[in-house]
Structure 1
Amino acid sequence: MEKFTKRAVKYLGLTEFGDWKFKLYSMKYNELRVTPEIEKTIKAILPDWIKENSQTNDFPNYKIGTVIIHEAMDSILVVVNWWVYENVIQNHVYCSEYEHSDKFEDISSKGLRFCVWEMNILWHERNLWVEHVLKKSDNPDWDSYLNHSYKLEYAD
């Protein structure tokens, strides 16, 4: 088992397609590893992933979510979450090897969800959802939710 260390985090901005809006984050095991095309690849694949998976239940869907591109030790993980049914996150996880960073497999059915570092971002997003949407259920402040992001440079 490897000793716990911080992981670099960066907010990459809002990515939109159709009616969907996702906050996009990157997380790196090794800050020196450079994979310049990965963000572009994920933005291109994301609409297909959402089309495939957003109709799996009948819950109200807000078409708002979070994507974490985690360049982990030995693979690239993409954690895709979106808000449904008022206070629930629908979650899918995709994985790719570094040698084939344009080919991702949906590994959600294998039971993997998110790691301890990704939970920092998700906890932050949860708190924003409570503050800007659930506490203002009569008139949710979608813009405030979407305009706030995880600001720390490292997840610890």
Structure 2
Amino acid sequence: LTKELEARLETCAYKQFEPRKVVCDGRIQSRGFQLRSYFVTVDAAESSPADALTRQDMAVSSPADQTRARAPGLPIAASFEEGVRLALDELPEERDEGCPGVGFIIKHHGATADYVVLVWWANENELLTRVFVTDPQTGRWRRANDESFCVWDLEIMWRERNHYIRTMLGGKSDVAQYLDETPT
């Protein structure tokens, strides 16, 4: 490495990776698609988006923080409803022959924002993806601009990829098996 690059790398203060809680919390059906649903959280105390947890303990200094703070008693699930709705609107109305109508959705409660990652299989072996995020200025859901999925979401994608290969591309395409078994 050049001395300049080494100097820049020394100034990077990345946080050490910590695993996050990942819960498969059911299935969502929309437009003829069946999607496995996951919840990922930075907060180890949260076990599902349906937990009636509040964010009253968070410092509220911006509109986004106010949204993330949530009203007392507002379930986490309610905070993801709009993001999930926007994501599901992205599913195609019609599927072609190479689209089995299966995929997954990730609701990710992150450290600085909430994310919804919609992923579905198409063209036999391709993973189409849409990402939605809470805007840091307004706290409202919007389509991602420069944001994307992260290392924790990639962990789910890797499991789903291996599961798809085994159940759909392993010689016999078995949509029921793909849906009924949760990837490990």
Which TM-score band applies after superposition, normalised by the shorter structure? Answer: 0.7 to 0.9
- In 2 relative to 1, CA 118–49 (structure 1 residues): closer, same or farther, beyond 3 Å? closer
Distance 1:116 1:80 in 2: 15
Name the counterpart of 1:147: 180
2:124 aligns to what SS in structure 1? coil
Name the counterpart of 2:15: 2
Name the counterpart of 1:133: 168
Task: State the Cα distance separating 1:145 from its structure 2 match.
Answer: 0.6
Structure 1 window deviating more from structure 2 (61-70 vs 43-52): it is: 43-52
- For structure 2, the 5+ residue unaligned runs are 1-13, 47-52, 55-73
Looking at both structures, which has the greater relative contact order when contacts are Cα pairs under 8 Å and sequence separation is at least 6?
A: 1
| Conserved? CA contact 1:74–1:97, under 8 Å | no
- In 2 relative to 1, CA 45–66 (structure 1 residues): closer, same or farther, beyond 3 Å? same
Distance 2:97 2:148 in 1: 20
Q: Give the TM-score of the pair, scaled to structure 2.
A: 0.66
Q: What CA RMSD, in Å, does the superposition of the two structures yield over aligned residues?
A: 2.9
Name the counterpart of 2:114: 76
Deviation digits for residues 59-81 of structure 1 (CA, Å, limit 9, x no counterpart): 84322111111100011011110
Name the counterpart of 1:15: 28
Task: State the Cα distance separating 1:47 from its structure 2 match.
Answer: 5.2
Name the counterpart of 1:24: 37
Decide which structure has the larger Cα Rg and report it.
2
Distance 1:106 1:134 in 2: 31
Identity fraction in percent: 22
Residue 123 of structure 2 corresponds to residue 85 of structure 1: yes
Q: Which residue identity lines up with residue 25 of structure 1 in the other structure?
A: Y
Which structure dedicates a bigger proportion of its chain to strand? 1
Q: Which residue identity lines up with residue 142 of structure 2 in the other structure?
A: E
- For structure 1, the 5+ residue unaligned runs are 152-156
Structure 1 window deviating more from structure 2 (32-41 vs 68-77): it is: 32-41
